[in-house]
Amino acid sequence: MPKIYITFVWHMHQPCYKDLVSNEYRLPWTRMHALKDYYGMVHILKDFPHVHQTFNLVPSLLAQIEEYAAGAAVDPFLRCALKPAEELTTDETSLILHYFFQANSTHLIGRYPRYAELYDAWKAADRNMRRAQHVFNPQTLRDLQVLSQLAWFDEEFLNNDREVVSLVSKGRNYSLDEQALMGRKQIEILQHVLPVYRQFASTGQIEISATPFYHPILPLLCDSNIAGESNPHVPLPSRFRYPQDARAQLERSIAYVEEKTGIRPAGLWPSEGSVSDEALTIAAETGFQWAATDNGVLSRTIQRPADSFATYRPYLWENNGHSMKMIFRDHYLSDLVGFVYSRMHATDAASDFLHRIRENCDPILRSGRDALVPVILDGENAWEHYHRNGRPFLTELYKQLDGNNGIEAVTVSEALKKVPAEPLKHIHPGSWINANFDVWIGFEEDNRSWELLKQAREAFAGVSPSAVSTADYKLAEEELFIAEGSDWCWWYGPHHDCENRQEFDQLFRDHLANMYHALHLTPPAELSRSILRARVTSQHRQPVERLTPTIDGEVSSYFEWLYAGTYRVEARSGSMHGRRFFVKELLYGTGASEDAELLHLRLDFLDSESASLPGMEVRVHIDGKAVRLVLAEKSVTVVETEIPGVEAAFKRVLEIAIPLGEKTRCRLDISLWLGGLPMDALPPEGTLEITTAVAAAY
């Protein structure tokens, strides 16, 4: 009987945050994710022996974890977390306040009442050190030091480790001994990470695949001009062509992963799913037997939409005497896990996921062949947006899979032995994002970074290994390879944003400067100047007057919403790519009718297509009470409400009036749903607090 095979590939990656000259870790995220994600994602499988999976490990990540586990990492963030609060300098206190709240406000901070209380105090001080010093005394700071770290601990330890449970249970007023205990538990957790991968790989329940050592975009290292084949309109920098670097990053990767795990990886997730014929040729010569990318690349390759029949099967790429098995991720299903299911109940999300798989595979099974469903996504960043770090969702999903309901979860190598491969003679050059390389090349910031990288690469090539010491030459090569990684250009250009963009920019330029210094060369002056251009920030403005708009779905007058509060989500999508935004701006304010205080809302959509998708639902919650509306072309219907008297209209914009009764303040959140799935939310996390009072006039 034909069967459904599903293969999960979890990609585990953080860039190299270590400055090889100062020996310091510039950012703490490798450690934080190693506490929260890398161990638990594997360990959870112990309860589901029939669920097999593939974990893709980036060698530069493993190297950092190993150094942390040995207690050898020089991390100023950890040093500040462990230092007695009474001894903190002003600069150290500033670092704590500016970095230790960089966590999901709902699921990490909000999980711990004292942490949430401190976060509210920091916001109330307008994130200003001078104002905050009246609140953050030594005991308050010590509570923040402890809770900001515990919030990143893995669920296994939060639930089952007696000492960690005691720290969480205490909640506040931590002592110096408890602060030190938190530090010891960190090392203990970090020491579990690499062994759990070796253990599960040795039993065959997981397969370990790899990525080029420092996560470079292989096709662009081979020839940056290949980006013009993916997008003929992209402005390109000077040509960067160093396929030998691509080969070195692959050779070092396969050797390092084998050394650390005891198993030679057969599979390759090329950084960002980026492929080209030249990159695959080098990977095949290096010894990789299979590779994976996105079905958007498959669509461009076969020059037609990659439906389930095309996506749910392996391929055999053969080109110029080289061959490589390939799978292509189901982009939609993978993004549901990454971006959508976090806003649903765990059971509903797991059931929806498996229902969609069965529905997609049904025609394939009826045709008489097996279906292979590749689900490939980031194995770390999504989970802080889930309840309890995603463990309830994964538990429910694996429970249903472990019951063998017509779907078998297998590793990629297992799948390739079960399902015949379709021949493929050529691969379209592209990545998992839009089947091109636009995120990493083409915009002003990106191209400037490529010019600096090319200049450095040429300088490196111009120095003989005998001209400097062996140690200096090795250091220069290492810094150059780190700078070739994809992570720096991820934050350049208009696509993504985070609170640490400036640190990423500085670290990229420092890696290049370190290369020059190691070769006894003077770094170009341009490396002292930021590559970043002006940064766009999100906006939230309070209302300045009470409102009396006409609820007609039109912007009837320039003045009717002039003094409204506004909330705008910026276009950048944060650390993960793929989320689609529908709402351009929310305008809001209060006003009175003859017999009730009203909350007025107006949603402006990014484009007309977003607003006219059939069946788009808008769900509004006021202090937990729900109002549900369904949009159609130029109309809206209130289909459910727990608040009588709601009025709504939709034409150019969506306008809503909701009676507040005698409330003087309320908490508001709005979400957009399509096909039973949450697609957008305002605010993305938490709620907006609305009062009937208004801010001072202009």
Question: In which domain, by residue range, is 24 found?
Answer: 13-203
Does residue 295 contact residue 435 with C-beta atoms inside 8 Å? no
Q: In what order do the strands lie in the sheet with 565-568?
A: 539-541, 565-568, 583-592, 597-605, 654-661, 647-650
Q: Say if residue 305 is in the same domain as residue 388.
A: no
CB atoms inside a 10 Å sphere around CB 559: 8
CATH of the domain at 554: 2.60.40
Contact (CB, 8 A) for 179 and 163: no
SS3 content of the chain, % helix, strand, coil (to 5): 45, 20, 35
Evaluate whether residue 534 is within a structural domain.
no
Q: Based on the domain organization, do 680 and 579 belong to the same domain?
A: yes
Q: Which of 432, 315, 369, 341 is nearest to 5 (CA)?
A: 369
Question: Residue 694: what are its φ and ψ, rounded to 5°?
Answer: -125, 160
165 and 142, same structural domain? yes
Structural tokens at position 266: 């057969």
pLDDT confidence of residue 688: 85
| Amino acid at site 205 | Q
Per residue in 157-205, pLDDT tens? 999 999 999 999 999 999 999 999 999 999 999 999 999 999 999 999 9
Count how many domains the chain has.
5
Q: How distant is the alpha carbon of residue 2 from its chain centre? A: 35
Full-model pTM: 0.88
User: Does residue 152 lie within any of the structural domains?
Assistant: yes
Same domain, 88 and 190: yes
Residues 683 and 613 in one domain: yes
Residue 550 in domain? yes
pLDDT for residue 593: 75
In a domain, 408, yes or no: no
Is there a single domain that holds both residue 457 and residue 603? no
Low-confidence residues in the chain, pLDDT < 50? 536, 696-698
Does residue 167 share a domain with residue 47?
yes
Q: Which of 495, 528, 561 is the last residue of a domain?
A: 528
Q: Is residue 431 part of a domain?
A: no
- Domain for residue 500, yes or no? yes
441-445 contacts: CB < 8 A, separation 24 or more? 441/220, 441/224, 441/227, 441/234, 441/236, 441/237, 441/489, 442/227, 442/231, 442/234, 442/235, 442/236, 442/493, 443/492, 443/493, 443/494, 444/493, 444/533, 445/489, 445/492, 445/493, 445/531, 445/532, 445/533
Domain boundary among 528, 558, 582: 528
For residue 290, list its beta bridge partners. Answer: 267, 325
Q: Backbone phi, then psi, for 443, in 5-degree steps?
A: -85, 160
Which amino acid is located at 494 in the chain? P
Buried b (16+ CB within 10 A) or exposed e, 19-54: bbeeeebbbbbbbbbbbbbbbbbbbbbeebeebbbb
In a domain, 412, yes or no: no
- Shared domain for 283 and 316, answered yes or no, is yes
C-alpha neighbours within 13 Å on the C-beta side of residue 78: 24
Residues 6+ apart with CB under 8 A from 145: 80, 81, 82, 83, 85, 96, 100, 174, 179, 182
CA 315 to chain centre: 28
Encode burial over 455-472: b for 16+ CB neighbours within 10 A, e otherwise.
Answer: bbbebbeebeeeebeeeb
Instruction: Please tell me whether residues 159 and 22 are part of one structural domain.
Output: yes
Helix (H) or strand (E) holding 357: helix 346-366
SS (H, E, C) 451-478: HHHHHHHHHHHCCCHHHCCHHHHHHHHH
Task: Give me 88's structure tokens.
Answer: 């903190």
Asked whether residue 499 falls in the same domain as residue 637, the answer is no
Same domain, yes or no, for 596 and 679?
A: yes
Is residue 635 assigned to a domain?
A: yes
Cis previous bond, 235, omega within 30: no
Cβ neighbours around 658 below 10 Å, total: 23
Q: What angle do CA 334, 338, 344 make, to 5 degrees?
A: 110
Q: Domain boundary at 310, 329, 348, which?
A: 329
Tokens coding 326: 């390939």
Q: Write the CA distances from 670 to 563, 567, 625, 643, integer angstroms.
A: 21, 12, 12, 15
Q: 319 with 426: CB under 8 angstroms?
A: yes
Element (H, E) at 198: helix 176-203
Residues 679 and 562 in one domain: yes
Token digits for 317?
A: 């790429």
- Looking at residue 570, its pLDDT comes to 67
Residue 134 neighbours by CB under 8 Å, 6+ apart? none
- Render pLDDT for 365-404 as a digit per residue (tens, 0 to 9): 999 999 999 999 999 999 999 999 999 999 999 999 997 7
Q: Say what the alpha-carbon torsion angle 574, 381, 246, 281 is, to the nearest 10 degrees.
A: -110
3-state SS, one letter per residue, for 281-347 = HHHHHHCCCEEEEEHHHHHHHHCCCCCHHHHCCCEEEEECCEEEEEEEECHHHHHHHHHHHHHCCHH
